[in-house]
Structure 1
C-alpha cells in the first residue's frame, strides 16, 4: 500500500492526520509511531502491531508486540500504570524480583532480553569485568540482583568465566629472554575477552 493510501486510511478510519511523508519516515526507520499510531497503522494494514516492529529490544516494543496496554501489563505486575509507564519511558526498570519474574512471563522475555529491555547491559558488563579480573565470589550477589537466574547458577557461571579468563591470561603470557612481555599479546587477548564478556555469560549460562 502506498504511503498516501496509508495516510488516507489513518485519517478515514482512525481520525489521525498523518502526512504521507511521516508514513515514509516510519517505513525507513527514521521515525517511530506512537502507541495509538502503531495500533491504527496495524489496523489499516490488516496485521498485528507486533508485525510492524523490528526485533523488539525495549520494554515498549515488547509490550506492543504482545498487544498489551500499559494498564493491562501493570496489573499483571502488581503496580500502577503510572509507575510502570515511568519505567518504560526512562528505560530503567526498578521492579522487585517478583515483579521482574512477572514481567518476563508477561512479555515472554529471556533473561538476556530482560537485561537489554531494562537498560542493564552496561551494568552487567561492569560487574562481569570485575568478577573475572578479581574475586568472582564478591559479585554473585550484585549480579543476582539484576539477572533473573537462580543464584546457584550465577555462581557456577561466574566461577567458570573467571577460570576461563585466568587461563587465557596464563596461556597468552609470553616472555622474551630479557623478561619482557612480547607484543602485548596478553593485553589484546584479555581486552577481547572482556569486550564480549556479556555474550560469554549468557552462552555459559545456556540461556
Structure 2
C-alpha cells in the first residue's frame, strides 16, 4: 500500500504560530502517545496521511501544522486552538485562536467573505469604526492587539518616535486618533516616555567621560526600536 502524502500548504495560507511545547504537554496529560494522536487525526478528522512521525515533527518544531491540521489537533487533544498557538499577531491568527471560521467573522463585521479574506491575506483592515468595534469584540482583542491587526502599529511607532524626540505635546491628538484612549491618559503616557528617552540620551557618561553601559546613540536607538512596547507597558503599568 502506498503511503498517503500530506497535502502541500497553500502559499497564501500560512499556518499560525504553533506552540510545540503546549502540544506535547497536552498530549502527555491525556496519557496519549503520538500513535494515538495520529490515529484520531485519521479516523475522526479525515487526515489519512497523519502518522506518529508527523505528530512528533510538530511537537519538536521540525514541521508546522496548517490551520486545518491545528484545528483537528486541538480536537484530538481536547483543547481550544488558541492553546496550541503562540501569541497571535495577525488577523488570521487571532481568528484561528478563537476557533472561528472566516465566514463567522465576515458575517459578524458585515463584509462579503472574499473581501474579508482579502484583508486577512494582505493585513490591511478596511472596516469602519463600527465594524472595527465589532471585530474587536468578536475576536476579543486587547487594545494593543487591535492596533496591530488593523495595521496601525507602524504608524503608531512613527508618531511615538517623533513624540519622544521632539515635543510630545504636539502628538497627543495624532496618537489619540489611532488609539482610543482619553487625552489625559495619553498625556500621562507620552510625558514619561519623552522624559525616559531624553534621560537615556544625556545620562551616559561616568567620571572621566568613560561610557557607562553603551553610548547615548545606542541607548537611544534601542529605546526607539521598542517604542510601541514601551508605550503599552506605560499604559498598563499604572503610570497613566
Normalised to the residue count of structure 2, the TM-score between the two structures is 0.67
Q: 2:27: which partner in 1?
A: none
Native 8 Å contact 1:50 1:66 kept in 2: yes
Q: 2:37: which partner in 1?
A: 6
Native 8 Å contact 1:100 1:148 kept in 2: no
State the SS of the aligned residue for 1:166: helix
1:40 aligns with 2:72: yes
How many residue pairs match? The answer is 203
Between Structure 1 and Structure 2, which shows a larger proportion of helix residues? 1
Counterparts of 2:153 and 2:191 in 1: how far apart (Å)?
20
Q: 1:195: which partner in 2?
A: 225
Q: 1:83: which partner in 2?
A: 115
The unaligned stretches of length 5 or more in structure 1 are: none
Q: Displacement of 1:74 after TM fit?
A: 1.9
Q: Displacement of 1:120 after TM fit?
A: 4.4
Q: 1:69: which partner in 2?
A: 101
Native 8 Å contact 2:42 2:50 kept in 1: no
Instruction: State the superposition RMSD in angstroms.
Output: 3.1
Native 8 Å contact 1:62 1:107 kept in 2: yes
1:130 aligns with 2:162: yes
For 1:1-207, list aligned pairs within 5 A: 1-20=32-51, 21-150=53-182, 153-172=185-204, 183=211, 185-206=215-236
**CA 137–172 in structure 1, closer or farther in 2 if over 3 Å, else same:** same
Cα deviation digits, residues 157-196 of structure 1 (max 9, x gap):
23442243234434458998xxxx8757432332233233
Q: Displacement of 1:133 after TM fit?
A: 0.9
Cα deviation digits, residues 6-46 of structure 1 (max 9, x gap):
23322222222233243333223344333332232222233
Counterparts of 2:136 and 2:80 in 1: how far apart (Å)?
21
Normalised to the residue count of structure 1, the TM-score between the two structures is 0.76
Native 8 Å contact 1:101 1:148 kept in 2: no
